[in-house]
Structure 1
Amino acid sequence: MKPDSIDTLIRDIAVRHGIAVGRDDPIMILQTMNAHLMREHAAAQQAALDRFSEELEGIAHRWGEDARSKAERTLNAALDASTDAMKSGMEAGAKAAATAARHELDAALAQLAGPIREGRRIATLNLIAAGMAVFAAALALLSTL
């Protein structure tokens, strides 16, 4: 205890209780011991609070790391699922486009099949007519000889 705080304490006891207490009074020894114990306990409590604060900071840091890793895993899973969905959507779209193109080509070929058959028939008839003309010309040539 500081000397001026001891003097203040002696004055307070005299004013409140009307008792004169000296510096060598046993009650002052108890007061000094009490003040000393209170300082020790305050230091011990401060050390305990510091340890507790460090533990809380460690726990908060671990929780933050856990939350971050869980968020990363969740985002990665969502990204993978999104990528898979995009791939399957693109495959389905490509298959649908190929099927539509195949149907269009088949329809165009079906429309051309009739005229091609007709053209073949006409070409065959032209060949027959040309053969007949050659045969008639040959007959005409033979008849003049």
Structure 2
Amino acid sequence: MPVMSCVFCRIVAGAEPSQTIHEDEHAIAFLNPAQATRGHALVVPRAHHRDLAEIPVETAAHVMRAAVEVSRRLAGALGAPGVNFWHASGETAWQSVFHFHLHVVPRFELTDLTPPWTEVVHPVESLAGLAEEIRGWR
């Protein structure tokens, strides 16, 4: 059921303008007005799901399939030698629109985006306790 206070639901419903570049029965993709790089697109499920905690696995799989198609289309049409997928679930992860979505960002140069984290490499052995904690969660 669309949530009409949600901008992505309004785009899906055709009540908000967008530049749609892909759609199927499960997902829609449109250009992000805030272009991180030329062609930056958002892929959203047609049904409203807030984030990873709420989206059914099957729906997430449909969104990922659409994102793969969109990434191929962007790379081919724009000549992008690389593509990043980006997802944020929750405010602390920088989610700003609370309708599940994937960013598909064409990459043209190593320097057209800055990584959001540093690449500190931890010795594998030092991660054993963390791995155990994660494996034990139910």
Into which bin does the TM-score normalised by the smaller protein fall?
Answer: under 0.3
Higher relative contact order (CA closer than 8 Å, sequence separation 6+): 2
- Bigger helix fraction: 1
